[in-house]
């Protein structure tokens, strides 16, 4: 059987336009996407598993402060980091996920640990952090997750009494200022920037896998959890159909059960990957108010990178043509 092996990844979606990006910033993102793509594709090229490929791809993105995952995670309302991740094996639909972890250097490794070393699927902080420590996963002090860019965003928001989002100008309607010694309760418009990273892959053995990791929403409160660590919503893989990793306003992706819905359209209605993705992202999700996108690969190695936002950091490569694709904007 000569199956084209394929890899696709994303680094978040939202209001990402050329007008909001300098040439230097654009180059940094393109280089980071290319590096992650090369890391994951190298695993597939030498006959490695899709599971290893998506994990290593996501780890590369988690270690890059440009993206809202791992080292680049955004701050919560309380001023710390709460990170989520999930991974799924298309061979048998085994899955693992963590939510709210604070010390694990690579949350995607903790998610795989849950899948392979426990009888569970989803673990939350503090138990997920403790499991990672017990199994020797690298952990980091809070200073590791601090980045000047994220800190400056917080300080600008505090001083201006309004939000600053990663890839947009300050929102036009300011929130009434509060004393600086008290946290300002911003209500972030998540449609402006949906920061998540993820990868999907089909290996030479015909197996699919998906992985997703996120730092969540800037200024999130009350231990909010989005779609990324929820199997069937933000992450899904089944060898019979496809592998999916989503990025967007998590509440809508949760309500639409986006990743599993695409798989169901393929399995029960016999739709192609491209058509199933189009229906869910544009016909179902968008009318609900859900903005964002996803990366997908099917059991034949076909790749889809649909999104309904202004832009999505994305990259893909298949052995079918050997031509890497890297994109940021809609056009």
The annotation status of 40 as a binding-site residue, yes or no, is: no
Q: Is 227 part of any known ligand binding site?
A: yes
Residue positions annotated with a catalytic role: 196
Q: Would you say 247 is a known binding-site residue?
A: yes
From 281, 207, 285, 197, select the one nearest 241 (Cα to Cα). 207
* Kind and range of the H or E run holding 12: strand 6-14
Query: Rg of the chain over CA atoms, in angstroms?
Result: 18
Distance in angstroms (rounded) separating the CA atoms of residues 300 and 190: 34
Q: Is 250 annotated as a binding residue?
A: yes
Using DSSP, how many helices (H) and how many strands (E) does the chain show? 10, 13
d(CA 85, CA 313): 18
Tally Cβ neighbours within 10 Å of residue 127. Answer: 14
SS3 253: helix
- Write down the residue that tokens 């159909």 correspond to: 241
Is residue 218 marked as binding? Answer: no
Closest CA to 189 of 14, 68, 18: 14
Q: Is 327 annotated as a binding residue?
A: no
> Phi/psi at 304 (nearest 5 deg)?
-135, 140
- Residue ranges for the known binding site are 224-227, 247-250
- Residue ranges for the known binding site for substrate are 224-227, 247-250
């Amino acid at each position: 059987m000569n199956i084209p092996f394929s890899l696709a990844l994303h680094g978040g979606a939202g209001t990402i336009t050329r007008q909001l990006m300098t040439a230097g910033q654009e180059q940094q993102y393109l280089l980071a996407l290319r590096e992650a793509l090369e890391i994951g594709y190298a695993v597939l090229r030498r006959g490695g598993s899709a599971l290893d490929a998506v994990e290593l791809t996501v780890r590369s993105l988690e270690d890059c402060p440009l993206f809202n995952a791992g080292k680049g995670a955004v701050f919560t309302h309380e001023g710390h980091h709460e990170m989520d991740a999930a991974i799924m094996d298309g061979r048998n639909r085994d899955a693992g996920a963590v939510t709210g972890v604070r010390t694990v250097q690579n949350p995607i490794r903790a998610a795989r640990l849950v899948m392979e070393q426990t009888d569970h699927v989803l673990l939350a902080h503090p138990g997920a952090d403790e499991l990672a420590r017990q199994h020797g996963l690298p952990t980091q002090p809070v200073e590791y997750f601090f980045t000047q860019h994220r800190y400056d965003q917080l300080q600008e928001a505090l001083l201006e009494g309004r939000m600053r989002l990663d890839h947009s100008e300050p929102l036009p309607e300011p929130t009434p200022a509060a004393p600086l010694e008290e946290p300002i309760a911003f209500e972030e418009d998540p449609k402006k920037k949906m920061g998540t990273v993820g990868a999907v892959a089909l290996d030479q053995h015909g197996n699919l896998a998906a992985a997703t990791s996120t730092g969540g929403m800037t200024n999130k409160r009350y231990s909010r959890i989005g779609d990324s660590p929820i199997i069937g919503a933000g992450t899904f893989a089944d060898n019979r159909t496809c592998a999916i990793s989503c990025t967007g306003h998590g509440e809508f992706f949760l309500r639409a059960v986006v990743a599993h819905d695409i798989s169901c359209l393929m399995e029960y209605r016999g739709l192609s990957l491209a058509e199933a993705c189009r229906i869910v992202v544009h016909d179902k999700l968008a009318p609900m108010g859900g903005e964002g996108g996803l990366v997908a690969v099917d059991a034949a190695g076909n790749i889809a990178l649909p999104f309904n936002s202004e832009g999505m950091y994305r990259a893909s490569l298949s052995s079918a043509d050997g031509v890497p694709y890297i994109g940021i904007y809609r056009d």
